[in-house]
A and B are shown apart, each in its own frame.
Chain A
């Protein structure tokens, strides 16, 4: 296994379109790094550049300290798992798994041993003599994985390997994949648009948007301290609520009421040159049905709003609340492009807030509900630069 370094890697297509801009990333030996972002953000292009399937316009790609920009894919010793598996339909599972070894001119004994070893790990032993067309989706996916692991490459690249599976199988494969990755201690770069996969699988996650890296960090860091409003809106489901807000000395005026700023928040704001108009962000998890909160032990704000829609997921209830006094915020947020790329509050109208409630809640659709929120979990963003001001 090896260390991968992207040093200012840029991809510009001949027609001038910029796919990836000055990407810096270091993937440590054995590390599992996830590239995540909406479609068209450059994550697959980045993966293809690491693989050698696309040329690097500018910058350096190093594997174990060696610059490999101009090396052909076969000389980089990297394995890749494709979204649609890309199994060779005319070969049996055994021959599919053996293909990279045959090309590397391994001896038949070594090939048999390695293929059968991989088949055991992936529970494919009984399917070795079958053709890919006779396998189920999950089995095909495992063959694709197997083809990557048989030859002990320096690194694995995975391009949305689970996106073609149904929800239940995807969960299973996700844990299996995580187990295999740990067992092989394999340096892995994994592309997905699914933030759940990103959060659960990765040691570190790279959030990308329109070719630019937005933030690199552990799943926890991305969730707790997003650097800007794009990351804040992208990570977390349902997405974070954004509200227009005004700073009034020590308080923040928002459509859900005034919030007293903590000292830390105030000093963070003072150290920056921001106007009075800001954007407040609150995750759905920061809310609760006020009737279920012991106000003496959990100080916080409350507001009342009409419940538009209730969605029960079992452990939680998501309530979509209509705010009356939120006009003006829309234009502000839209101007910042928060609506783009299907991120943030994509399907929510701008005066709506999503809250995650305990299933005990008595909320009913069409009725007003008193909601409590935790002001310590408030994020404040600069509406111009979209940066998180209090991270």
Chain B
């Protein structure tokens, strides 16, 4: 069907509008982060900084709190991702390939976890973690992050494992591989794109989390970046830390943007082509 140039122009205009609508708040925070602290609130909310300055960025990196929070964020998200992906890979493999009692119950249970509103678990988790002494520690955040990202990870990976022809494993077994060798040398390399995809999604989930980070920490010891931003203070009690908050928000967005671009480029299929006739 031919699309008239008028229609085309109409669609383009609509697209531009949607993009502007979506990106305007992002631009706003970026603009804010480059304004001099004195200009904020006095320039009439101009979406364009009158004086471009890196003052805000310098400010957040001069105190140790934000750097500490970034280290916490990276460390906690990375460890939680690693644990979740390793467990999910094994669980997804078992779910797709093995017959064992309680398989349905396991799948149901993992879906149940995914459906649970996280806010309802914050108070019990707070009490439990204080009781067993992991409150305000890395482990205290890694455990809930791993738990809540596992269902998604298992789901993505089992969908992928199902696509890998079972014959490949049988072939590996016939070629003299133990089940673990077959998994490590044949299945895992084939599943690599799915594992990377899952890892990125889990990492983003951990990185973005605010609820657990704010509720299960009390000092900069384990506080992650999103939570740390909420504790920013101005240089005096009469100054709002708006510029610093904007700069920190931009900084923690950067890894996500990079990941999303990377994620888009991953082609999940394609690697398995040629394994079997088709």
Contacts and interface: CB of A to CB of B under 8 A. Distances in A.
Interface string B260-273: 00000000000111
B275 A87 contact: yes
B175 A99 contact: yes
Contacts of A86: 165, 167-168, 170-171, 275-276
B277 interface: yes
A89 interface: yes
Contacts of B173: 52-53, 72-74
A86 B275 CA distance: 6
Contacts of A88: 168, 171-172, 186, 275
A103 B181 contact: yes
A89 B276 CA distance: 8
A90 B178 contact: no
Contact of B276 (A85, A99, A104): A85
A80 B171 contact: yes
Contacts of B189: 90
A166 B174 CA distance: 27
Interface string A108-124: 00000000000000000
B175 A84 contact: no
A133 B271 CA distance: 9
Nearest to B274: A133
Interface in B186-201: 186, 189-190
A129 to B, nearest CB: 14
A83 B171 CA distance: 11
A88 B171 CA distance: 9
A236 B129 CA distance: 76
A283 B176 CA distance: 46
Interface in A130-145: 131-135, 137, 140
A104 B168 contact: no
Contacts of A135: 274
B127 to A, nearest CB: 45
Contacts of A134: 274
Contacts of A79: 174-175
A100 interface: yes
A103 B276 contact: no
A89 B272 contact: yes
Given A86-B165, A89-B274, A103 B176 contact: yes
A78 interface: yes
Nearest to B170: A53
B175 A100 contact: yes
A135 B181 CA distance: 26
B191 to A, nearest CB: 10
Nearest to A133: B274
Interface in A253-297: none
Nearest to B189: A90
Contacts of B165: 84, 86
B177 interface: yes
B274 A132 contact: yes
Contacts of B276: 84-87
Contacts of A100: 175-176
A82 B171 contact: yes
A164 to B, nearest CB: 4
Given A82-B167, A84-B165, A103-B181, A89 B273 contact: yes
B274 to A, nearest CB: 3
Contacts of B186: 88
Contacts of B174: 51, 53, 73-74, 78-80, 157
Contact of A74 (B176, B190, B272): B176
B271 A90 contact: yes
Given A86-B167, A103-B176, A164 B277 contact: yes
B176 A84 contact: no
B161 to A, nearest CB: 15
A109 to B, nearest CB: 19
A137 to B, nearest CB: 6
A147 interface: yes
A103 B177 contact: yes
A78 B176 CA distance: 9
B270 to A, nearest CB: 9
A78 to B, nearest CB: 7
A151 B174 CA distance: 11
Interface string B133-169: 0000000000000000000000000000000010110
A140 B277 contact: yes
Contact of A89 (B175, B178, B181, B190): B190
B277 A137 contact: yes
Interface in A57-93: 72-74, 78-80, 82-90
A147 B175 contact: yes
Given A73-B174, A99-B175, A103-B175, A84 B190 contact: no
29 contacts: A53-B170, A53-B174, A72-B173, A72-B178, A73-B174, A74-B173, A74-B175, A74-B177, A79-B175, A80-B171, A83-B167, A84-B167, A85-B276, A85-B277, A86-B165, A86-B170, A87-B274, A87-B275, A88-B168, A88-B172, A88-B275, A89-B272, A90-B190, A99-B185, A100-B176, A103-B175, A103-B177, A157-B174, A164-B277
> Which are the 6 A-B pairs with shortest beta-carbon distances?
A133-B274, A84-B276, A86-B167, A86-B171, A100-B175, A132-B274
Given A74-B173, A86-B275, A132-B275, 5 more contacts: A73-B173, A74-B178, A82-B170, A89-B272, A103-B181
Interface of B: 165, 167-168, 170-178, 181, 185-186, 189-190, 271-278
Interface of A: 51-53, 72-74, 78-80, 82-90, 99-100, 103-104, 131-135, 137, 140, 147, 151, 157, 164
